[in-house]
């Protein structure tokens, strides 16, 4: 499926034993096969025309399968399940938070998935089918796809935790602009992924409670495990958000402490030089009557007094524990 991700339609026949019967094109599709998987590129007009000609897919399902933007959701009508799911975008040169939308229409004998970008979760299922270890039923296909999506999100959050750990380790030596850009990027990633994972968890809860005949008890157990995993991932998102806030506050507090320390040193210096500046200002006036103008050691006396005053102020500040 990797090579045909941009193809309008790719059809695979599943043997119900975990393998593939053969790859078939739309024109070569044969009737009577036990389970058929169609993967379509919803941006293609050919895929739209094909869906229009598929009698079992109603207008509501067609609209969702071809819609450019969807949020995770769950629908069930008779023996048909329609789901919209989201997975992190781990493609090269892509942003993980630019999540890939995968739409899923399922019956007992037919599966339709809809996507416009390469999905590693879809690729994983295709490889498993090629190796003979893939899903045997449409319900198992759904549970396996949900599991692969959850694993990819887990992998992303492991990398996110590593990035946060690195930020914490290098907090003292990073510049403000660099730190702010990195921490803001992490917070945006977490917020965007949470936006889709929250309704996805709700959709999985509806699927788990649906009691559809397509889903076996084993599939339900797997879906419940994946539901727990998504719940934990949402908790991890909240923890990541709190860690970024704490990290940002710690960094700002460190900067404020440095600024206060510098201002404090300047205040001590100003306190020392304030009386000295007053004395030099007084004795620097060019008016008659200033004492010491005719005394040859007057400058030495004034300089010695200023030096002694500065030392006395330093001793007094030290006694007061001002530094």
Dig out the tokens for 31 from the structure: 């009737």
d(CA 245, CA 174): 17
Segment 130-167, tens digit of pLDDT: 898 999 999 999 999 999 999 999 888 888 888 888 87
Kind plus residue range of the DSSP H or E element containing 236 = helix 217-283
Q: What confidence category does residue 33 fall into, taking pLDDT thresholds of 50, 70 and 90? A: low
315: pLDDT strictly greater than 50: yes
In the numeric block, the tokens 């993967």 are attached to: 39
Q: What predicted TM-score, i.e. pTM, was given to this entire model?
A: 0.75
pLDDT, position 25: 47
Mean pLDDT (the chain, rounded): 84
**CATH level 2 (architecture), domain 9-254:** 2-Layer Sandwich (3.30)
Predicted local distance difference test score (pLDDT) of residue 172 = 67
Return the percentage of the chain with pLDDT > 90, whole number.
27
pLDDT per residue over 61-78, tens digit each?
999 999 888 889 999 988
Q: What is the DSSP letter of 212?
A: -
Segment 271-292, tens digit of pLDDT: 878 887 887 777 777 666 667 6
Burial grade of 287 (CB within 10 A; 0-12, 13-18, 19 or more) = exposed
SS3 of residue 102 by DSSP: strand
Domain map (residue ranges) of the chain: 9-254, 262-319
CA 118/CA 109 separation, integer angstroms = 25
């Amino acid at each position: 499926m990797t090579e045909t991700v941009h193809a309008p339609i790719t059809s695979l026949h599943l043997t119900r034993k975990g393998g593939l019967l053969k790859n078939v094109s739309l024109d070569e599709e044969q009737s009577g096969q036990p389970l058929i998987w169609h993967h379509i590129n919803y941006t293609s007009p050919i895929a739209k025309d094909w869906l229009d000609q598929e009698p079992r897919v109603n207008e509501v399902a067609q609209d969702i399968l071809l819609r450019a933007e969807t949020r995770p959701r769950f629908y069930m009508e008779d023996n048909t399940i329609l789901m919209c799911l989201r997975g992190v975008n781990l493609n090269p040169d892509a942003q993980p938070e630019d999540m890939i939308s995968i739409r899923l229409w399922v019956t007992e004998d037919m599966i339709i998935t809809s996507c416009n970008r390469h999905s590693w979760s879809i690729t994983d299922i295709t490889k498993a089918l090629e190796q003979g270890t893939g899903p045997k039923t449409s319900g198992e296909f759904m549970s396996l796809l949900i599991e692969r999506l959850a694993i990819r999100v887990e992998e992303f959050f492991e990398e996110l935790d590593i990035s946060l750990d690195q930020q914490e380790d290098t907090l003292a030596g990073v510049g403000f602009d660099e730190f702010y850009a990195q921490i803001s990027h992490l917070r945006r990633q977490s917020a965007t992924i949470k936006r889709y994972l929250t309704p996805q968890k709700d959709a999985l809860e509806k699927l788990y409670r649906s009691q559809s005949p397509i889903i076996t008890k084993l599939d339900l157990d797997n879906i419940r495990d994946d539901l727990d995993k998504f719940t934990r991932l949402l908790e991890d998102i909240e923890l990541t958000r709190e860690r970024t806030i704490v990290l940002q506050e710690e960094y700002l507090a460190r900067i404020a402490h440095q600024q206060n320390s510098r201002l404090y040193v300047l205040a001590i210096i100003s306190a020392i030089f304030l009386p000295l500046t007053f004395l030099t200002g007084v004795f620097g006036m060019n008016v008659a009557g200033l004492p010491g103008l005719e005394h040859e050691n007057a400058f030495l006396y004034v300089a010695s007094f200023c030096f002694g005053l500065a030392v006395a102020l330093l001793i007094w500040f030290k006694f007061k524990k001002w530094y």
